Amino acid sequence: MTTLPVLDADPFAHDVLEDPVPLHTALLAAGPVVHLPRYDVYALARHEHVHAALADWQSFPSGAGVGLSNFRHEKPWRPPSLLLEADPPRHDAPRAVLTRILGPRALRRLRERWSAEAEDLVEKVLAEHEFDAVTSLAEAFPLRVFPDAVGIPREGRENLLPYGDHLFNAFGPANDLVAKGDPRVSELTAWVDAQCRREVLADGGFGAQIWAAADRGDITCEQAPLVVRSLLSAGVDTTVHGLAAVLYAFATHPEQWRRLREDPGLARVAFDEAVRWQSPVQTFFRTADRDVPIGNEIIPEGKKILMFLAAANRDPRRWDDPDAFDLSRDPSGHVGFGMGIHQCVGQHVARLEAEALLIALARRVDRFELAGTPRRHHNNTLRAWESLPIRVHLEQRIR
Ligand code: OVM
């Protein structure tokens, strides 16, 4: 006897990617678990259940992939990530290496440099009073500071965004978005893989530190290039669309921007609130390791669950006034960075980028507004942006 709710929806259809909120609302209302027959997957949208599934890596491991494809039955399009697509114990050594290299203490040496870079970029961009915040800020800033911090050469960096776009599409079904990326996969993969070699990585960067960990025996020399690949895979598009989310939030919430200007110490809360509100990473899958009960249902062994991070981040059971972007809220507990053993290892990097950029903007910009219609970029996993036309009104004197 089952009462399992069923929704005949395609979470990866263009109308849903354009505006996922109606689907999230339907999933949240339908029950703790909803079957999606289109892909024969089990959807979780409520915060309680998404949080519990993320925390339970034993029942819901990642080794069969965190996309729709089940690596036990289908060959992955690239060798699986040692972090994202692995379980303990294999997951743990690579994770420990990155936790240290990307931790708050280790990042302290970057703060001053990134603040100076942000001020330099902001000054150049504000020479125009109207600009596209996606290309001029949300893409330009991470592309300036992050590949330098990893230590890859300048040449070819334009490959990072298209590689990430395809990677995040590939977690979804083999739809038109994946087909669009296919022609460049081998070229982009070859370039990314070449940047993971020890010889190309600059001294002192994250990449060289990963290789140093291999020299110490913390990970093997076979693992090192794949750990570098994780940085180049997960560290660019995510921060671009996270920064775009917070810029969009402020362009549409001038009263919140005033609060940030009065108290720039709110920059980090603002970024996390934007990550909660927009969820740059919308979804990830897991695979049931056995028959797993959730609510009154059983997820059958081997089936994929689809966790709607974005819906959990606006679940009214968890959040007051969930659709509001509000700096007085405490956004901690959002699942925009995941939860549990796979929770975003780069989150401190993302927050440092956001803080540097927001503080640089707060020194100069009195008010933001939209100067045109923002356009979304459709991706199977990312809540992404094509364009965010912005007009700024500057502070008369620099603070
Ligand atoms: C990785 C990886 C790739 C994409 C996303 C991600 C959000 C990790 O290669 O480890 O985490």
User: What is the pTM assigned to this prediction?
Assistant: 0.98
- The mean of the pLDDT values for the chain is 97
Q: Which atom of ligand 1 is nearest to the CA of 164?
A: 4
The two beta strands, 383-387 and 292-294, are unpaired
Indicate if ligand 1 lies below 6 Å from the C-beta of 282: no
| Residue having the nearest C-alpha atom to atom 9 of ligand 1 | 230
Indicate if ligand 1 lies below 6 Å from the C-beta of 159: no
The two beta strands, 365-370 and 292-294, are unpaired
**87 Cα: distance to centroid of ligand 1 (angstroms):** 14
Indicate if ligand 1 lies below 6 Å from the C-beta of 379: no
What confidence score (pLDDT) does residue 223 get?
Answer: 98
Give the model confidence (pLDDT) of 84-137 as tens digits: 999 999 999 999 999 999 999 999 999 999 999 999 999 999 999 999 999 999
* Residue 202 to residue 218: CA distance in whole angstroms: 20
Query: Angle, nearest 10°, between helix axes 254-262 and 237-252?
Result: 100
Q: What are phi and psi of 309, to 5 degrees?
A: -55, -40
Q: Is 2 left (phi over 0), alpha (psi -120 to 50) or beta?
A: beta
| Domain 14-394 sits in CATH 3.30.360.10 | no
Q: Which two tokens stand for residue 223?
A: 């693992």
* Residue 349 to residue 58: CA distance in whole angstroms: 28
Indicate if ligand 1 lies below 6 Å from the C-beta of 236: no
Indicate if ligand 1 lies below 6 Å from the C-beta of 230: yes
| Residue having the nearest C-alpha atom to atom 6 of ligand 1 | 234
Residues 6+ apart with CB under 8 A from 246: 270, 271, 274, 354, 358
What confidence score (pLDDT) does residue 390 get?
Answer: 98
How many other C-beta atoms lie within 10 A of the C-beta of residue 211? Answer: 22
What confidence score (pLDDT) does residue 395 get?
Answer: 85
Residues 6+ apart with CB under 8 A from 196: 207, 224, 225, 226, 228, 229, 232
Do 126 and 392 touch, CB atoms closer than 8 A? yes
Q: Which residues, given as ranges, of the chain have pLDDT below 50?
A: none
What confidence score (pLDDT) does residue 347 get?
Answer: 98
Indicate if ligand 1 lies below 6 Å from the C-beta of 228: no
* Residue 148 to residue 44: CA distance in whole angstroms: 38
